[in-house]
Structure 1
């Protein structure tokens, strides 16, 4: 069975929305290595449409520019990308396809396929649904030392209890906590 690894930037008050407005002052090599490792171990990316659109707008251009992150950009382009969207999509970024059918059923089937890790980045509504369904094997949170105050939180008032078990935790020099959780019943 394949593993799903979801990664999110999160503020100390639980806000995950618009990290582009508060995340960058805390970015450093430690965080870059953590993000690269989480996404880089995957042979498939599962992304919500909004996250996919942001990636597809940025990473192909970075690959063509040939700068410092061109290698990661190429790897992302070469990786199979499955996009969750309720409406039909036309994709311009190579190796992209749309998830077909019910989210939980389709992801359950995807996990049963042969292959390696399925990584997620951002895609909050998709992560929420898959956490509630018990399909996320690792939740990688980069907890930033800032209270944003307003915005979508990872867990809202409608979420039921989702027991988690700490798998590992690391403190970066910027004060960011890199916390990895798994399901509470995971060994």
Structure 2
């Protein structure tokens, strides 16, 4: 079965909006390797319309310019790109098409197809829906040591989704790379259970 993974840049206060305004000072070799492992190694990208449009406006030109980011740009260009949208439109970036059908059903079908991983970048509405339905295998968060103070957050108010930590790494910049999955066997408990673990004088 193929894995569906999602990667997002996040501030310490949970903001994922407009990372171009705050995350570049923290981008180093370690973060580049983490992004490449999650996004650049996938053979299929699942993107919301807004994220797709932003990528399509930038990455083809970067590939054509042949700069230091051209190799990564080519990986994105060569990948199959499925766009989650209700609009009937053209997709100018090569290997791009609209995702057919309802998101969760189509994502479940994607997981059962042969091939490599399916990667999501940004696309918060897609991530939220798949995580809620238990269809997101890995949630990669690159948590930056900065408080942004405004902007969209990954989790909407009132959201409760138990998660299990798969791995964590601290970069030299102070960025935390944490990987979670849904915890279908999340523990229960109350204060009465917790207080037994308080230090006793």
* Length-normalised TM-score, structure 1: 0.95
- Say if 2:161 is the partner of 1:162: yes
> In the aligned structure 2, how far is the partner of 1:118 from the partner of 1:98?
15
Gaps of 5+ in 1: none
Indicate how the Cα distance of structure 1 residues 158 and 99 shifts in structure 2: closer, same or farther if over 3 A, else same. Answer: farther
Residue 89 of structure 1 deviates from its aligned partner by: 2.3
| SS of equivalent to 1:92 | coil
> In the aligned structure 2, how far is the partner of 1:121 from the partner of 1:101?
20
> In the aligned structure 1, how far is the partner of 2:179 from the partner of 2:172?
18
| SS of equivalent to 2:44 | strand
> In the aligned structure 2, how far is the partner of 1:158 from the partner of 1:81?
32
Gaps of 5+ in 2: 186-201
Question: Is the radius of gyration larger for structure 1 or structure 2?
Answer: 2
> In the aligned structure 2, how far is the partner of 1:41 from the partner of 1:116?
8
Map of 1:180 onto structure 2: 179
Aligned pairs for 1:1-187 within 5 A: 1-159=1-159, 161-185=160-184
Q: Which 4+ residue blocks in structure 1 deviate beyond 3 angstroms?
A: none
> In the aligned structure 2, how far is the partner of 1:149 from the partner of 1:35?
25
| SS of equivalent to 2:43 | strand
Over the aligned positions, Cα root-mean-square deviation in angstroms equals 1.2
> In the aligned structure 2, how far is the partner of 1:39 from the partner of 1:173?
21
* Length-normalised TM-score, structure 2: 0.89
Indicate how the Cα distance of structure 1 residues 158 and 86 shifts in structure 2: closer, same or farther if over 3 A, else same. Answer: farther
> In the aligned structure 1, how far is the partner of 2:4 from the partner of 2:32?
20
> In the aligned structure 2, how far is the partner of 1:41 from the partner of 1:150?
32
> In the aligned structure 2, how far is the partner of 1:74 from the partner of 1:8?
20
1:2-34 Cα distance to aligned partner (Å, 9 max, x none): 110100000111111111111111111111111
> In the aligned structure 2, how far is the partner of 1:51 from the partner of 1:41?
18
